[in-house]
Chain A
Amino acid sequence: MTQLDAKIPSGPLAQKWDRHRAAIKLVSPTNKRKFEILVVGSGLAGASAAATLAEQGYSVKCFCFQDSPRRAHSIAAQGGINAAKNYQNDGDSIYRLFYDTIKGGDFRSREANVYRLAQVSVNIIDHCVAQGVPFAREYGGLLANRSFGGAQVSRTFYARGATGQQLLLGAYQALSRQIGLKQVQMIPRADMLELVLVDGQAKGIVVRDSVTGKISSHSGDAVVLATGGYGNVFNLSTYARGSNATAIWRAYKKGALFANPCFTQIHPTCIPVSGDYQSKLTLMSESLRNDGRCWVPKKAGDKRAADAIPEEERDYYLERLYPSYGNLAPRDISSRAAKRVCDEGRGVGPSGLGVYLDFSDALKRLGEATIRERYGNLFDIYHEITGENAYQAPMRIYPAIHYTMGGLWVDYNLMSNVPGLFVVGEANFSDHGANRLGASALMQGLADGYFVLPYTIGHYLAGSKKVKPSVESAEFRQAESETEARIARLLGIRGKRTVSDIHKQLGKILWENCGMARNRQGLQDALQKIPALREEFWGGVTVPGEGKDLNQSLEKALRVADFLELGELLCRDALAREESCGCHLREEYQTPEGECKRNDEEYAYAAAWQYAGETSAPVLCKEPLIYEELPMATRSYK
């Protein structure tokens, strides 16, 4: 078992980062260009890291699977980005943002990391404004803020409903500038398929050019993974279709620890699945629950149209279960409640997996004009996707996977336990604990990429004397041939089931057993079913086409092959964590009201899993979470 050292600097919490920055080693300007850094992924974390490292003078190679770095899925984030600016003079501070984030994460995150996140949050806004990000403003010309869940202050900066897009384009432009200056070599349409270690240090990657199918190696002095979350293991999610876990999974299999894989966040208000063919779930802003009422029929199997069900036969279940919060119950609570009523057979819509979000009372009370003014664009999106008019009939919504707090384990320097392998953004596990607050994902991605990694990576590089290995070396050759063999094996199966079909089945197993509510029996079942499904995949999947060609089926097959392994780890972690915290609700460990019951005595640790080979179970390494500043309290928003 690997001993985990988070390398948290000593000293008072508020001074840790400053002291650490002053103490870590530097790389001189002339030496910087001799170091080559490989950045995989070009979302908020990857693009900001690649751009900043290049500005500092490092030679950078940046990879993404999309056709352009501008397409990374950070672009789809809507709501906003938190920062402790206190521009609204409402009592916000770095400490308060730190506190809210720790509490939001249900005391399963690392204090020092979160405090640093809150500290650099203010720099992010300054930098993004300087880049030309068109944040919302007041008439006086100063920046506007909105409120978000889990906070009592207005600290969320936003650009209409496309904050992620605007921040990503800012980072993309900074990256583009460095590409133009030849400081970054951008390699799009490239799938990272293997991590290469030389003498136990991360020194390169193997990628597949998705246009030509060519397998090639790239060596560097450090590897930065910024490849996002793994929510697509569930198949249906709000993630982009291409989002995948292959890079972090390959790193895991090369020895990097995977922390808290079962911490997957579920968003309560998404447009429900409308059929088996569905490829993607779309988020509807949570703000709708301010005026909409959630209900299902009281009778199971009631297939009448919404307006044909009389008032007394409706169950406004959130108002019934949580009278004080009602329809504004927190995300995890309302997600789980929706699941419960659907499990009872009372779900609505063709699939039975949906609940009504009804605006008829609000429409009566406020009139259509007011509702249109508040939510017009959301009603439009709903209409666009479903073809239904939510002014006339209630919306149907259902929870969906949309973020993963878990990821590769990293220390305070964002380096994994594999020397030279850094992990930033959603791909790491560091800052959100068991639950992420709204508008904090953008903050973390940019904090890591702009303001943390560019400092901490220098400390590693200054200490590494090794010369960059040649891609002709045995380690690279072997990694390439293993990758080629994996591809050849996939193409050679020519079975009867499609990759998508198996992915759907995996998603279903996970959603049912390791989704919004988990229990021992279900998880044990899933741990039987997933290996069986994996066998079926390797024995009976069909992947058409060839390897040396643009082959989207093969790309998907490679990703699903890794999801089939990751899914198992997810369930294993959920089974091992015999408590409920944040997003992770174990039905055995809940309060009578269905709230999470944490067990700080035994589970106040980050569960970091170590790969132990094909035939042995992974080893659980524990990083104890020590709270020096905050007492571990019961999380309550009542």
Chain B
Amino acid sequence: MNFTLRVWRQPNSRTPGRLESYPARNIDPNMSFLEMLDVVNEQLTLENREPIAFDHDCREGICGMCSLVIDGEAHGPEERVTSCQIYMRSFKDGATITVEPFRSKAFPILKDLIVDRSALDRIIQSGGFISVNTGQAPDANALPIGKDLAEQAFDVAHCIGCGACVAACKNASAMLFVSAKVTHLGLLPQGQPERDRRVRAMVSTMDAEHFGNCTNQYECEAVCPKGISAANIARLNRDYALASLKGMFTKKSESAGGG
């Protein structure tokens, strides 16, 4: 198969980028999209041109590092997969394929298709955890948790933090990401003591990191490689409102940051 790639090239975060065209020739339909990029990069290297920079690591859809917008869709044309799990047989021979980075003010472009997603880490750092030091835990079976609850918690805990939700949202909102963690820890009994301060801290960090707002269009759940439902955002809204309401009627404690 042969393709024409239009790839976003940008030397660094300060210099403006643009789309450049590259041919991709003799591509095996069973190549993954990233392997196709590897082939193009090998060619560029041999021509003494700079290869296309893109993030990737596990190449099996779990690490969340790969982050391409392929033909306008975060993680490409297939459902419930990451960019590394897209195979070239999904494209028509001879097609022109546009490859862009995840675009968001919160994700500055570092180079070509690589963006800085540390804003997501900072959201977790502000409250996306249960405060328990090593060695403090009671016996694991001391606290029974219903099977259904555990399964629901897993569904949201499965988030890989890739940021495709932000990339796909027309407002570059991170609410699906935040709601996944708030729901995961909020569902479990272990997460209850910090539930209110967690949601308030995480939302406040999210806002400070310049993510947009949710306008309830659910593009995020359509591209989520782990199929996390946007209904979790409703839960986030509810948790946040209740936590704020409680906050209004209780004596002020210290700030919620850092746990």
Contacts and interface: CB of A to CB of B under 8 A. Distances in A.
Direct A–B touching in the complex (beta carbon < 8 Å)? yes
Interface of A: 48, 51-52, 55, 66-73, 75-76, 85, 87, 123, 125-143, 159-160, 162, 165-166, 169, 172-174, 176-177, 179-182, 186, 188, 211, 238, 240-242, 274-275, 277-280, 282, 384-387, 450-451, 454, 494, 496, 498, 500-501, 542, 544-545, 549-550, 552-553
Given A165-B62, A180-B257, A498 B154 contact: no
Contacts of B150: 134-137
Nearest to B226: A162
A278 B114 contact: no
Contacts of A134: 150-151, 153-154, 157, 184, 188
A138 B111 CA distance: 48
Contact of B30 (A66, A172, A275): A275
Interface stretch (B121-129, B167-175, B242-250): B121-129
Given A166-B154, A279-B35, A85 B259 contact: no
A566 to B, nearest CB: 20
A125 B140 contact: yes
Interface residues of B, number: 81
A282 B60 contact: yes
Given A67-B65, A211-B110, A545-B50, A386 B30 contact: yes
A66 B65 contact: yes
B233 to A, nearest CB: 20
A279 B134 CA distance: 38
Contacts of A500: 38, 42
B201 to A, nearest CB: 9
Contacts of B53: 550, 552
B49 interface: yes
B136 interface: yes
Nearest to A446: B134
B117 interface: yes
B132 A87 contact: no
Given A165-B160, A169-B157, A211-B110, A180 B60 contact: no
Interface of B: 11-12, 28-32, 34-35, 38-39, 42, 44-46, 48-51, 53, 55-60, 62-65, 81, 85, 87, 89, 110-111, 114, 116-118, 120-121, 124-141, 143-147, 150-151, 153-154, 157-158, 160-161, 184-185, 188, 190-191, 257-259
Contacts of B55: 67
Contacts of A55: 133-134
A51 B125 contact: no
Contacts of B89: 387
B178 to A, nearest CB: 14
Given A67-B118, A75-B62, A544-B51, A132 B185 contact: yes
Contact of B58 (A125, A240, A454): A240
Nearest to A140: B144
Contacts of B31: 275, 277
A130 B49 contact: no
B118 A76 contact: no
Contact of B57 (A133, A241, A553): A241
Nearest to B138: A126
Given A162-B158, A181-B258, A141 B145 contact: yes
Contacts of A140: 144
Given A73-B58, A130-B130, A159-B154, A542 B48 contact: yes
Given A130-B190, A275-B30, A550 B45 contact: no
B188 A279 contact: no
Nearest to B154: A134
A179 B125 contact: yes
Nearest to A174: B129
B12 A550 contact: yes
A178 B6 CA distance: 42
A193 to B, nearest CB: 19
A451 B134 contact: yes
B130 A68 contact: no
Nearest to A384: B85
B128 A173 contact: yes
Given A70-B64, A550-B114, A542 B46 contact: yes
Contacts of A552: 51, 53
Nearest to A49: B134
Nearest to A142: B141
Closest 6 CB pairs of A and B: A141-B144, A130-B137, A173-B129, A180-B125, A180-B258, A280-B59
A139 B147 contact: yes
A278 B84 CA distance: 12
Nearest to A77: B62
Contacts of B144: 137, 140-142
Contacts of B58: 71, 73, 75-76, 240-241, 280
B87 A385 contact: yes
Given A126-B140, A129-B137, A553-B45, A387 B30 contact: yes
B110 A550 contact: yes
A139 B60 CA distance: 31
A132 B130 contact: yes
Nearest to A239: B58
A70 B185 contact: no
Contacts of B157: 132-134, 159, 166, 169
Contact of B140 (A143, A172, A179, A240): A143
Nearest to B30: A274
A51 B132 CA distance: 11
Nearest to A138: B147
Contacts of A75: 58, 62-63, 160
